[in-house]
Copies of this chain bind each other. A is one copy, B any other.
């Protein structure tokens, strides 16, 4: 048996999310089907974390154990062949120690949330961005976002369905930058609560619109109450860009 570390890109639009579920096709299920088609083995593809329905990934990480005597290059090529025509692509496969665990070895997760901020509706990027028609002050959003950095009880930004035992997380970075009509919100942390990034974005939008100040963000955080935060931004703007591991684990 060899454990393979996988880096995976996908378009989440037509899936129920990363995790296998009864109500529709998931990224995990399509990968497990591809593993079975390749080597006849029924193996769990363990992801670094779940993504919701409609959320994308440019750098999801996972691991899978394969009995067949093969190699990393063949695994990557075979999975991609069997994944067609799903918009799921294995960018990298690497043989790793069986001590490596995609979820528990991960040191950090990074996401990009992309807003198209203009009056006219979006077209080519409609499934990859959130269209916001009112002018947003990205600089004010960035300044206010810094109030969220560090170790906090993030209950205000946690989905009611979140299964994590603790609402305490440590936010490493949260940066908001505008380039023309595109506003990119980049966020990193060791781990996240369910909907945490989308709830950050929906709340920071209030700052961008001028309805909230940075102090309102601090107050919302301190309230530890989901009803004191802003809306949950829609899934299509969100993309898991990277999962980091300790250098010696890969």
Residue from B76, B120, B121 within 8 A of A120 (CB atoms): B76
List which A166-216 residues lie within 8 A (CB) of chain B.
none
Q: Is A87 an interface residue (CB 8 A)?
A: yes
Binary interface encoding of chain A residues 120-143 relative to chain B, with 1 for a CB under 8 A from any of its CBs, else 0: 111110101000000000000000
Q: Is A88 within 8 A of B120, CB to CB?
A: no
Shortest distance between the CB of A177 and any CB in chain B (Å) = 18
Is A32 engaged at the interface, CB distance under 8 Å to the other chain? no
* A158 at interface by CB-CB < 8 Å: no
Instruction: Give the residues in chain B near A83, CB-CB below 8 Å.
Output: 121
Give residues of chain A (69-96) contacting chain B, Cβ–Cβ below 8 Å: 76, 80, 83-84, 87-91
Measured CB to CB, the closest approach of chain B to A161, in angstroms, equals: 26
Interface status of A157 (Cβ within 8 A of chain B): no
Least CB distance, A12 to chain B, in whole angstroms: 9
